[in-house]
Each structure stands twice: as C-alpha cells, then as structure tokens.
Chain A
Amino acid sequence: MSRDAILQAVRTAIGRKPFQKPVAGPEPLLQIHNWTAADRLERFCTANAALGVPVTLASSASHARELVAALIDGRSAIASLATVLAECGILGLAGVQAGFPDAEALRHACASTPVGITSAWCLLAETGTIVLRSSPEEPRLLSLLPPVLIVVVSQSRLLENMDEFFGLLPQPADSSSATVMITGSGRHELHVILVGADDPTVAPCRTGQHREYS
C-alpha cells in the first residue's frame, strides 16, 4: 500500500513517530489597516484602474440596472440568483436569463451566452480582487465561461484584504466547493458595478456621474 509506505518514508526522513504531535507552527501574519469605507473604495478603484478593470459606482438600485442594461447592450445574458441582482431588478431586464432546472441546461446557457452577470461574496480593496463563492444561487461556470462578466455588488461588501476575509470566514471550504478570487480581467472582459449610498467625500470615485476607471 503506497499510503503507508510513503508515510513511513516521510517519518523516517524527518525523524518522527506515528501520531506524534507537531510542534507549534508559525503564527498567521495578519495585516490589519482599519481603513474607513472611503479608503477602501478609493483603494479598490485605484487597484482596478491599474489592472484595467472599469469600476462604476451606482447611486441606487435603478441606476445599477441602467448601467447593466447599457453594458448588455441588447445581447443575451445569464444572471445568477443572487439577492443583490434581484433587488436591483436586473433579473427582469430584457434578454437576461436566470435560474436553471439542471446542470445540463446551465452548461448550455453558459457556453452559448456572451454576457454573465453575478454578484460577489466580497471585494478586497488592497489588491482590487473580487471574491466569488459557488453556491446553489451562483454556479461556478457562470463566472468562468461567458466572455463578458459583469459583477454587481454592494459597497458594504468591500473588505480590506485577504486577512479580513479569512477573519470573517475562516473556513471558506466548509460551506462551498469553490471560492474564486479574480484580480484583473484575464481572459474575460470584466466590469464591476458597486451599488451603495453616495459618499461625496470620496474624491476619485465621485458618484452620480458614474466615472469609469479604465
């Protein structure tokens, strides 16, 4: 049996006995900045500007819906069943398909539709990262296959960095089979729409005129 042979070889190599407790490992390296909401927003926008990902601020739910409608531009799209998308009325837009009876239908839809719309579990301000978690409402393929990906997410989901994320959710693997962190657009055309209250103190991302970062 390879398992026991390998474990035996490893134990011999490092001089340990079966069931011997490990010595204490290094402490986690935590970086806590205590940024304000405005700081986070500014950093997220700056990071994504460097990555070439347009981030748009939507002042209200209806504004977010208009922005998504403009991005879809008459093409067909598939959306996840995330709460924020339903709240913004995006699921009701013309050409937007949502909710799939089975895996086969989902695959076909994902493979043939040009635009995918999802929400995100959180955003990381430090690196401009979008964190998606697969769930019954938000399938994995939806963010992987369509060439254009629109992420609509509430501003309250802006976290500082990975340390804050793992602080809130120490074991992401327990409740979802996939947690995906996307930084930059890669193969896709990525758009981020932040839904939230106006905050006129944020200089680079002044709302209302939904300034784009590109």
Chain B
Amino acid sequence: MNLPTQRRADMPELRARAAAIKKHVLANLDHYLVETEKQVVAHGGQVLFAQNIDEIVAFIQLLAQERGVASFVGARATGVRNEASALRRVVEALSSDVGAYLSGHLATLIDAASFDLDRLFAAGIGITGANFVIADAGAVCLAEGDDFASLAGAAPKTHIVVAGIEKIIPRTRDLAVFLRLLSARYPGHSSLLSGPRRAGELDGPEAFYLVLLDGGRSAILADAEKRELLRCIHYGACPESCPATPVGQPGALTPLLKPPLIAAPDVYTSALSDACREACPVNINFPRARVALRQDALGQANGWVPLFFRVWAFVMVRPRLYEMVALMARAFWPVAWKCAHPPAKSLRQLWRERSR
C-alpha cells in the first residue's frame, strides 16, 4: 500500500514549529540530555553515553557476554516501505552504521525479504535506532513505514536503542508536530517505547538501554554555521529536491547529514541552489553549511590544491597573463579529457572585434 504524498493544509505551520522545537533543543541540549537520562532511569531503563560507534559495540559485546547472548537482531530505523523510499531514506545515517557494522560480525538485519521468526525469537538482544527521543517521558519513538523495529524491540529480552544526541525532543506532546510532518510522507507504524515491560505485562523487553551517541555531533554543535544540520529528522525531501542529484541516487546531501562531517568530494556536487532549503521541514540552511564545509575542505587540503588556487588568483587579476593562459589552454586542449573543446575565439576576442 502506497499513498501519494499527502498535502496538508497546515504544513507551513508544522514546519515552523518543528524547526523552532529543534532549534530550542539544540540550544539547551545539555539540559535535555540530563532530563532524558533522569526519565529513562525513572522508567526502569538505563542510559549509556558513547563517544563513537566502537564504544557502543564494546558495550553490546560486554552485555552479550554477561547475559550469555549469542545472537542479535537489528532493524534500521528508516521509513522504508518499498525500494524507492528506501533509497530516499539512505540519509539515515546512524542506525545503518550500527546495523551494517553488526551485520558483518554477529547480527542479522531484519528486512521484509528475510523476515525470520525463529531468528527473531532466538535473539537475546534487539538493537534499533530511534527517530525521536522524548526527554520528559524517557521514551523513544520509532516512526516507521513498517513494524520491524517494533518487533526487534518487543521480542528479545534486551532492547538497546541507539540514538544520536540530536534526536531529543522536549515533550511527548511535541510528537504531534513531528509525527504529523512525517506521516504526510510516510504513513505507517509509529511506536512510543519506554523502559522494560511493566508489572503484569507478558511481553516487551526485560531490560531497556538507551545509548546516546555523540559521534562528532558535539563538534558540529559548536559550529554555528553547521549546527542546523543536527535538526535533521530524516524527512527525505532534500535529495529529491536537489537539481544536482541524478534520479535514483541517494542524493548529494548524504555526506552532509552523516556525522562526523567530513568534507568529502561530495560537498562540491551541489550547485548551491536553494531547493533543499525550501524542501526542508526543519528549515536547515543547507547552502550555508555546504559553503562552510567547502572552506573546511580547503583548509584540510594539502599540497597542490592551495597552490593551484594561489596561482589561479595570481593569473585572474592580470588580464594579459589570463589571455595568454587561455590561449595556451585552447591550443593545447587535451583530447584525452573528453571534454568539449573550447571555442576558437574567446569572449574577450569577440568583444574586441565587435567593438572595433
């Protein structure tokens, strides 16, 4: 079942509010981290802070040893319902990192094709991501197109939720804003999970762990120009809107949304159009972040790149020299590059001939 994207009349209002909430959380993140920890513990769960993926894996392995667990089950926290939306949601960074890491070693990722009940019940530990972590409830929200993540959380005896520290929202009530936004694109299954099973409940995990991952996010938070990137709720509109993205590709924005931010070659693929910013439900200023990342890339670059730009700057401010270089380039244009050959006469030549 697939719905066409529903158009809600209240979208502008929802977007403005979602952006405001995310901005508020990021500006007071330490408070909400402590609040989340307090509430998760109050609901019978435990919280672990991790600097990087390695720490999480070490923790999970230790826990598995302690509990004598041999098999894991994991689910991506994406809104995948079919292949197309799966591609759209490749921007889901964190949970797929963990999922992929573990799948190589110990775990099996649940997906629609390889849904296996025996495996699910044999697993002692279920690992999922989370779309939102709710500070005042000590709960996590999985907003999915399907319910595999809910299964991975409900069936095994231990449920570990791995979430980036930026996934926090202040109140349960704020879900009404975020779930409405997400449901406009991905209707489906969303669950609000907190703590282990309560007295009398027959299922649900016996132990509940929330792992809050930094993974370079506090460094992004410190950078005013890139901080907005942490607002991302994985809505998935930005790669779709990007004119530089070939159809069916994950999108030129993917590296921007995957902390730790590294200035990869991909930061040059976008034309700095404003399309992604207009499509973004939480109003992230992508062009500004991208320019900042390009500057970073230049600062990190060594050897010939800064030298090239220095020479380039030297040539650009000297018209005679520039014309000579351009003449040489036209004369010795390497066919091997397979680029279109430049025209025989430059604009400056044509201009002079015409004004004569």
A-to-B contact residues, CB < 8 Å: 2-3, 5-7, 9-14, 16, 18, 20-23, 25-26, 28-29, 31, 50-52, 100, 102-103, 106-107, 111, 127, 134-136, 139-141, 144-145, 161-163, 166, 170-187
Contact between B139 and A173 (Cβ–Cβ < 8 Å)? yes
Is B189 at the interface (CB under 8 A from chain A)?
yes
B-to-A contact residues, CB < 8 Å: 1, 3, 10, 13-14, 17, 20-21, 24-34, 43, 48-51, 55, 81, 112, 117, 121, 134, 136-139, 145-147, 150-151, 154-155, 165, 170-177, 179-180, 183, 187-204, 212, 214, 218-219, 221-222
Contact between B51 and A5 (Cβ–Cβ < 8 Å)? yes
A100 cross-chain contacts in B, Cβ below 8 A? 202
Q: How far is the CA of A119 from the CA of B170 in the complex (A)?
A: 30
Nearest A residue to B218 by beta-carbon distance? A9
Interchain CB contact (< 8 A) of A14 among B1, B27, B212: B27
B193 cross-chain contacts in A, Cβ below 8 A? 177-178
The 7 closest A-B pairs by CB, nearest first: A136-B200, A13-B222, A22-B28, A173-B194, A9-B218, A173-B137, A13-B221
A2-B55, A13-B221, A178-B192 as given contacts; A184 in contact with B1, CB under 8 Å: yes
Most chain A CB within 10 A, of B50, B81, B146, B150, is at: B150
Secondary structure dominating the interface of B:
mixed
A149 to chain B, nearest CB (A): 11
B3 cross-chain contacts in A, Cβ below 8 A? 50-51, 184
A118 to chain B, nearest CB (A): 13
Contact between A107 and B203 (Cβ–Cβ < 8 Å)? yes
Contact between A170 and B183 (Cβ–Cβ < 8 Å)? no
A139 cross-chain contacts in B, Cβ below 8 A? 201-204
Q: How far is the CA of A52 from the CA of B28 in the complex (A)?
A: 43
Contact between A170 and B173 (Cβ–Cβ < 8 Å)? yes
Contact between A180 and B150 (Cβ–Cβ < 8 Å)? yes
A-B contact pairs, 5 of them (CB 8 A): A16-B28, A29-B177, A173-B192, A176-B198, A186-B146
A25 to chain B, nearest CB (A): 4
B224 to chain A, nearest CB (A): 10
Q: How far is the CA of A171 from the CA of B17 in the complex (A)?
A: 21
A42 to chain B, nearest CB (A): 18
Nearest B residue to A143 by beta-carbon distance? B147
Q: How far is the CA of A181 from the CA of B192 in the complex (A)?
A: 8
Interchain CB contact (< 8 A) of A141 among B155, B170, B179: B155
B81 cross-chain contacts in A, Cβ below 8 A? 186
Contact between A7 and B1 (Cβ–Cβ < 8 Å)? no
B214 cross-chain contacts in A, Cβ below 8 A? 2, 6, 9
Interchain CB contact (< 8 A) of A162 among B13, B112, B138, B180: B180
Q: How far is the CA of A187 from the CA of B301 in the complex (A)?
A: 49
A23 cross-chain contacts in B, Cβ below 8 A? 24, 27-28
Contact between A177 and B31 (Cβ–Cβ < 8 Å)? no
Q: How far is the CA of A106 from the CA of B201 in the complex (A)?
A: 11
A107 cross-chain contacts in B, Cβ below 8 A? 121, 155, 203
Contact between B219 and A13 (Cβ–Cβ < 8 Å)? yes
Q: How far is the CA of A174 from the CA of B189 in the complex (A)?
A: 21
Nearest B residue to A50 by beta-carbon distance? B3
